[in-house]
Structure 1
Amino acid sequence: MTKIAIVASSSPTAQQGMARLTARYGNVPLAEAQVVVALGGDGFMLETMHSVLGRPTPVYGMNCGSVGFLMNGFEEEGLVERLAASQGAVLHPLRMHAVTQTGSVEEALALNEVSLLRQLRQTAKIRVSVDGRVRLPELMCDGILISTPAGSTAYNLSAHGPIVPLSANLLPLTPISAFRPRRWRGALLPSSADVLFEVLEGEKRPVAAVADSFEVRRVVSVAVSEERSIAVTVLFDPDHGLSERILAEQFAA
């Protein structure tokens, strides 16, 4: 992997790192790259992954941000050797199909999660169906989300959802501050599941749908399923693979 495209977030640390790496290894256009090296935090890494979705070009992240769960450590030395020794994790996104109150249709892909969130002070009312069968006739909540295994350690974990190993072929479905049924803690769905969220009393209780950073407001229904025909490969140093990080996160204090 000698044709390297180096991209960076707007932070001074990431920009300085890009300048140093470019001076040593060059920086080819994205269309010519064998690999993309992304400098920043998890948010910028997610943006970079979206930019190569469906392409064969893998992404290797180097942490110049705060969290860096999806990133490797930043080192100026030995980048080519690290890329050659790295291990890949293949991630499939979720496809969101949202219909708004005006009848418009919006689609987007999410590598972390698709979430429905109340827009105003009142709780949302949402009906949840899985594979054509209504599982929750009415969920009163601040919101609900469905995440990929890779995204299960992000917003899903903050909402007290379960962490899912990459190999599990499961999608966590997690409520956000459920009011009724109060004791419902969510579900683990097979990755083949087709999920439909229907917003009840949408005029009074408007709901927004968010696929990673793409937001649609005042939705009436949102369908979500895993898009197996699209993938992105993320590279990790051998001792910091994504599967190991997800496993280790389950034992974190």
Structure 2
Amino acid sequence: MRLTFEYEPDDPRQSGFIAALKERYARFIDNDHPDIVVVVGGDGAMLRALHRRTPPPDQPARPIRFLGVGRGNLNFLMNPSSVADQLAELDPAAMPCHRVHPLWVQANGELIGAAYNDVVIGAGVADCHQFHLDSTDGEFEGYELRGTGVCVATPLGSTAFNANNRGVVLPLDVPLLSVTGIVSNRDLSEIFAGSDLSIRFASRRGVTVFLDAHKTRHLDCSGVVRIRRDETRWMELTFVNDGEFSRRRIDLLKGKRK
């Protein structure tokens, strides 16, 4: 099995741990053609690793398998840190994995990046914007909304901000998105089965587009943000104990219903 390691270089908690792992598993390391990318840290480290290894949509891509070693503040997408002691024994072919598809995001016709968790369009909680949602399949057609923002979440990201925003927690392996309004005049919480959603906005102060909680682009006054789910490419998240990860999601859903 071939491994490569990724982590956040500016996180001092990981440097010594990573150095020890690289020494311990030196004979397995292949940075150019790994079977598994081992991500050390928390959920943020995992999302940033996914982004770093996602080529633009006009370039060829192949699925890459990621395994998280949880040593961050939030480890929902990660395996327990004890997995670091088992890396030499893992069989990639026998490990269950979940496909995660990117959302490509355009702002006024320009590609601004990809998201694996969610796309949030808005600004401060005191601001109010006008939104119009349209989709190519007609599921949204001139849907009008006034509020702080709109969140579009993938199945992977539906347990994050989307869940706190009273959105639907989606099963991981379904081609669906969860769409919610943020502090809005309409109770928008919909499951979207399409793959192409356009959100027009009008705002006195403009809006900011956040991709996976990263402030990506500020847009002035009015414009269009297009979100497209890419069915043709994906990354793979793997868990040593897949049942434990599923229980985590179920427990979150149960807590949300209380």
Superposition TM-score, scaled by structure 1 size: 0.86
- The count of corresponding residues between Structure 1 and Structure 2 is 242
Question: What amino acid maps onto 1:226 in structure 2?
Answer: R
| Equivalent-residue separation in structure 2 for 1:149 and 1:224 (angstroms) | 15
Residue of structure 2 in register with 1:6 after alignment: 5
- Alignment-derived partner of residue 39 in structure 1: 40
SS at structure 2 position matched to 1:65? coil
1:208 — aligned with what? 208
Rounded to whole Å, the distance in 2 between the matches of 1:47 and 1:29 is: 20
Are 1:62 and 2:65 an aligned pair? no
Structure of higher RCO (CA pairs closer than 8 Å, 6+ residues apart): 1
Cα distance in 1 for residues equivalent to 2:152 and 2:125? 21
2:183 aligned with 1:177, yes or no? yes
Counterpart CA distance in 2 for 1:50 and 1:30 is: 17
Contact 1:124/1:141 (8 A) holds in 2? yes
Per-residue CA distance 1:51-77 (angstroms, 9 max, x = gap):
223333311110110110110011242
1:221-232 pair list within 5 angstroms: 221-232=224-235
The reply to whether residue 116 of structure 1 matches residue 115 of structure 2 is no
* Percent pairwise identity: 24
| Structure 2 contact 112–217 (Cα < 8 Å) conserved | no
Secondary structure, counterpart of 2:32 in structure 1: helix
C-alpha distance in structure 2 between counterparts of 1:241 and 1:87, whole Å: 12
Which residue of structure 2 aligns with residue 199 of structure 1? 201
Matching of residue 126 in structure 1 with residue 135 in structure 2: no
Q: Distance in 1 between matches of 2:53 and 2:243?
A: 22
1:163 alignment partner, SS class:
coil
SS in 2 for 1:33: coil
Matches within 5 A, 1:22-101: 22-26=22-26, 28=29, 30-53=31-54, 54-75=61-82, 76-82=84-90, 84=92, 86-99=95-108
Whether contact under 8 Å (2:99, 2:173) holds in the other structure is: no
In terms of mean alpha carbon deviation, does 67-76 or 124-133 score higher?
Answer: 124-133
1:198 to partner: Cα distance: 0.5
Task: Return the offset for 1:247.
Answer: 2.6
Q: Cα distance, 1:242 vs. partner?
A: 4.5
